[in-house]
Homo-oligomer: A and B are copies of this chain.
Amino acid sequence: MNKYNHPGVPYFQHVSEHCIHYMSIDGVIFGFSENQLKVLLLRWKGTDEWSLPGGFIYKLESVDAAAGRIVQERTGLNQLYLKQFHVFGDANRYDQADTWQRTKMPLEGIKWSERTISIGYYALVNYSKVTPMPDLITDECRWWNIQDLPRLLFDHNHIIEVALHSLRRELNEQPLNHLLPDPFTIPELQRLHECILGTALDSRNFYKKMLASGQLERLPERRSGTSHKAPYLYRFQETQSGEILPEPGT
């Protein structure tokens, strides 16, 4: 592949014509599997360099819709939970020369703005329902454990850190069921909390807290098949009030 046939060139030409310049969206797609919190990353064509999935906003497209489209294209999901968490707007967010060299993209074909302001969204998705799909300029799309990330392109390591910290802060208000099988067990929910918080939790206290919240509905069945006591299955109750704005601080 050389500069004359790299598929990024027509892609960026399309973007340059139809999308808002100087802006992008980056998506931190969280999944949960094998007791690990994971994020979906892309490997750029012909390289060993990874980045977050991202994309651009069409001139008349809502920003939330653009984020949804971008995440949907990489995961195949038509139902997902998305949350805008931060704008990365430094004039020098990353070393541009170094980054574009690492991507092996032909700079003259893809550089359509001197800098990019990126709106960060995180998504909570059901790992088992995702079909990771690379895009035009990437060869591979797959999950990485959040503790074991490579050095990413752009400032994407930083963006993931900020996303994780946001998720941590907002843990109790977020619909974590999007990250779990449906239905799920309390131990699964506990391990998810532990992964997000990075700390161990006491199972007795965790049970009490979850059951006392009144948000969980115990199903008649249990999850069997393991060589130990079968746990009960639960579901979050759908009683989400129509409240749009957050409640006064705690």
Question: A62-B91, A87-B87 known; A20 and B117 CB under 8 Å?
Answer: yes
| Partner-B contacts on A (CB < 8 A) | 20-23, 57, 59-65, 84, 86-87, 89-91, 113-115, 117, 119, 161-162, 165-166, 168-172, 197-199, 245-249
Chain B's nearest CB lies how many Å from the CB of A114?
A: 6
Instruction: Say yes or no: A62 contacts B89, CB within 8 Å.
Output: yes
Cβ 8 A contact of A245, one of B20, B91, B165: B165
Is there an interface contact between A89 and B119, defined as CB atoms closer than 8 Å?
Answer: yes
- The answer to whether B169 and A249 touch across the interface, beta carbons within 8 angstroms, is yes
User: Is there contact, CB below 8 Å, between B115 and A60?
Assistant: yes
A60 / chain B contacts, CB cutoff of 8 Å: 91, 114-115
Residues of B within 8 A of A165 (CB): 245-246
The answer to whether A249 and B23 touch (CB under 8 A), given A89-B62, A89-B119, A90-B63, is no
Q: Which 7 A-B pairs have the closest CB atoms?
A: A63-B89, A62-B91, A169-B249, A20-B22, A168-B248, A165-B245, A171-B249
Q: With A and B bound together, what is the CA distance between A165 and B246 in angstroms?
A: 6
